[in-house]
Structure 1
Amino acid sequence: PLVIGKNENFCVVASDITPILKYTKEVIFLDEGETVSVGGTVDFVGLKDSVEKRIFHISWSERDAEKGGYKHFMLKEIMEEPEVLKNAMAGRMKGSKVEFEELKGWEDFLSNVEKVKMIACGTSHHAGMLFKYFIEDLIQIEVETDVASEMRYRKTKVDDETLFIAISQSGETADTLETVRKIKEKGGRVLSLCNVLGSTLTRESDRTIFLNAGPEISVASTKAYVAQVVVLLLLGVELARIKGKNIPAGFLDDLQDIHARFEEILENSNLIRDTAREFVKFRNFMYIGRWMGYPSALEGALKLKEISYTNATAYPAGELKHGPIALLDEDFPVFAIVPTDRMKEKMLNNIMEVKARKAKVVGVVTEGDDEVFRLLDHTLKIPKVHEYLYPLVMAPVLQLFAYFIADERGLDVDKPRNLAKSVTVE
């Protein structure tokens, strides 16, 4: 990607919006095959002729791209999550009513959708997996998830009853973009969730819902993931309304106040830090969960893996006896996702199996659930909410646990080795 920043006196050329913010808020994005000549004037040339380009105004401030007194961008971005939630929901949730201006005119199409296919990579893929569990339970339509790096090489069926949802923080993820182009060539309709105005994904999708999370500098995605999950939950509510399905009692009330639950968790981050210190010496970790806890286990393991270089794996807890449990002993701890939801009793059985192998167990647990507290070696508490919302409220806990382990090891949390913020090549 190439971005041109322009003010009255000069132009700035960069591969991203963030470094341009200190000079100008007016930017222009180049499309595939275009070139730009920057001199006394700025001239854009397409494959054949000169082209007119739209100027985008970026609302982010330079201060948004600074650490603001925090040790790392990652910690700052986690601490911003309550505000991110409010921004992501602003104008889209009014009382108990959910509405997306971005979807106006699509009501007939969405009412006929019988299948949803998610296009995403990494953390965005995990958000898509949560959407699958949520939608299949809420309105009983099939949702297919696959990483874009695989999906782009499959023969994907496209029809008028299928909605494709592409998720990317940057809007420049190579495999996601190539998959979207393949779907568009076949006449498919693509809705994108993105955080960056004017990015390639937003320009190539039929419709875009912006995350409104502000610039995310740290390589490991945190606040953008939270924004993705809450926007997907709102999208699910909108699809349920269009299809005439009921929303479970208490869900929307809890969702409205979700930022306050995040504030409670972040105010007690020192407790997460103290627990994380108990696990700094371990070089292996296994995350386990069931139902909506499984994508959370995958995301927790990814965070620990990418910033602390721990060999962290994740499995559906019901698969332990199909191989993974062979790894466990006193040197291979387990992180259990065990909120008070419909799968709690099954998770308790899995935890007892793990403890029988002498593995230490730390778990995310609903506050006040003494039955689970007694079983675990260490507990990380989350507030009681509707079961659909547990993956959301546990996100900062998983992120901070990984952050504190990496920080205790003296690692560069914001720029982990071998990784880039946006994966723009295959």
Structure 2
Amino acid sequence: MCGIIGFVGNEPAAPILLDGLERMEYRGYDSAGVAVRSETAGLQVRKTKGRLQVLSDLIHGGADLEGNLGIGHTRWATHGEPNDINAHPHVSENGRIALVHNGIIENYLEIKEHLMRQGIHFTSDTDTEVVAQLLEFHYNECHNMLEAVGRCLRRIEGSYAFGIICADYPNALIAARKDSPLIIGYGQNGNFIASDVTAVIKYTRDVVYMDDGEIAVLTADSVDVFDDELLPVEKTHSLVDWDVSAAEKGGYAHFMAKEIMEQPEAVRKTISPRIRDGRVVLDDLHLTAEYVRDLSRIYVIACGSSYHVGVVSKYSWEKLLRRPVEVVLASEFRYCDPLVDEKTLVIVISQSGETLDTMAAMREAKRRGGRTLAIVNVVGSSIAREADDVLYTWAGPEIAVATTKAYTTQLVLMDLVGLYLADLLGTVEQSEYDAILSEMQLLPEKMRQFLS
């Protein structure tokens, strides 16, 4: 659950990087680091094992690092033990390129061995340093950073979100992603990249979600996005519609307590707009009664707590729809040769909309001809964009790792969808339909009374 933040603009970068990393501390980490570029001091890298406060103290809250361009990272160790050397950012051998990375490079050993045969020396045990060294290798060939990034991405296999700065490009921040979330934020005094919108919400609500294979070049006053062939891409902007206070504790001792108490309001926001004149209305769902009648199978695919939403929902859906519902862990779905065709509805559930196993399972279902419906919380997330239909829980940011409001909103939304489909099929009596709907509308107040 590593965190990435990057900034290029008209203000000192280091304090902004530290602030963004602090807002992502909830994700868990074992080390932290920043790299900042300035005209006079060049590329300055500071990183350390331990809490973010250790890094902040080391650079006096960012005051020690001058420059308006930088990248920051909180790391949860996957390759190599947690220590100062393995912490991000990683720097190429000549010290010109610095890089932060979320994800895993699956063919890093093969590339590392190739680069070592070229005389390149490595200092860490990480897969990420391999990318930094490979970037330098290609940059020395073509002397163009964007082209070097493109060549590098064509060589590596796996998942990644990258933030990259180069000493030769004092005003440019480069980003790239595949199967790991990364957003671009458009601010008044500069532009941002981040792995989580909470890192930039203090500075901007205007964001763009990068797609797989895309590369972005950010300066203080411009953002250019390219596809994997380095052709320009026009992106759709999204407005983050929750306030910065939603990502702060609001007087509670910790985020989990806050989010437990937010459940009644979150459930109300999920239910209320979808009930009109005593009926469930799902304007964003485009399933006809004829399609639902012809279904031979319904899958629910998810990981973790979202999987348990599926397990509970199976019983209510089968009772209401009189159709078989199979709940499968997303990590297993790709490997079980699933029985999916054009008469299969596949429900994928994910709070973030970026759960890698769930995304891969959804793609496999689509490849086999199934229709996909995503239940997600994060607007514009990868799963939301790729699914045939998407319904949002509108729970707001969930920062506590142990889920609360994400779980309950997913559950009530699945109940609403089940009731809606049962009504299409005519498999639910009107009296039962009315009773269920009435009880669902009472849920937020009952939850509030219980929690009080």
TM-score by length of 1: 0.61
* Greater relative CO (CA pairs within 8 A, separation 6+): 1
Q: Does 1:170 align with 2:352?
A: yes
In 1, Cα distance between the equivalents of 2:435 and 2:387?
34
Partner residue in 2 for 1:142: 324
Q: State the one-letter code of the partner of 1:46.
A: D
* Percent identity of equivalent pairs: 40
Q: Does the aligned pair in 2 maintain the 1:95–1:256 contact within 8 Å? A: no
In 2, Cα distance between the equivalents of 1:106 and 1:59?
31
Alignment of 1:18-417 (within 5 A): 18-39=198-219, 40-48=221-229, 49-104=231-286, 106-247=288-429, 248=432, 250-267=435-452
In 2, Cα distance between the equivalents of 1:156 and 1:126?
20
Gaps of 5+ in 1: 268-426
Pairwise CA distance, 1:262: 0.2
Q: Does 1:3 align with 2:200?
A: no
In 1, Cα distance between the equivalents of 2:352 and 2:424?
29
Pairwise CA distance, 1:187: 2.0
Q: State the one-letter code of the partner of 1:15.
A: S
In 1, Cα distance between the equivalents of 2:277 and 2:438?
8
Task: Determine helix, strand or coil for the equivalent of 1:255.
Answer: helix
In 2, Cα distance between the equivalents of 1:78 and 1:209?
22
Q: Does the aligned pair in 1 maintain the 2:286–2:389 contact within 8 Å? A: no
Deviations 1:385-415 (A, max 9, x none): xxxxxxxxxxxxxxxxxxxxxxxxxxxxxxx
Partner residue in 2 for 1:372: none
Pairwise CA distance, 1:263: 1.0
Q: Does the aligned pair in 1 maintain the 2:182–2:209 contact within 8 Å? A: yes
In 2, Cα distance between the equivalents of 1:104 and 1:174?
25
Paired positions, count: 267
In 2, Cα distance between the equivalents of 1:243 and 1:106?
9
Q: Calculate the aligned-residue CA RMSD, in Å.
A: 1.3
Instruction: Compare the two structures and name the one with the higher strand fraction.
Output: 2
Q: State the one-letter code of the partner of 1:266.
A: L
Q: Does the aligned pair in 2 maintain the 1:83–1:259 contact within 8 Å? A: yes
Q: Does the aligned pair in 2 maintain the 1:158–1:187 contact within 8 Å? A: yes
Task: Determine helix, strand or coil for the equivalent of 2:413.
Answer: helix
Pairwise CA distance, 1:264: 1.4
Pairwise CA distance, 1:114: 3.4
Pairwise CA distance, 1:103: 1.2
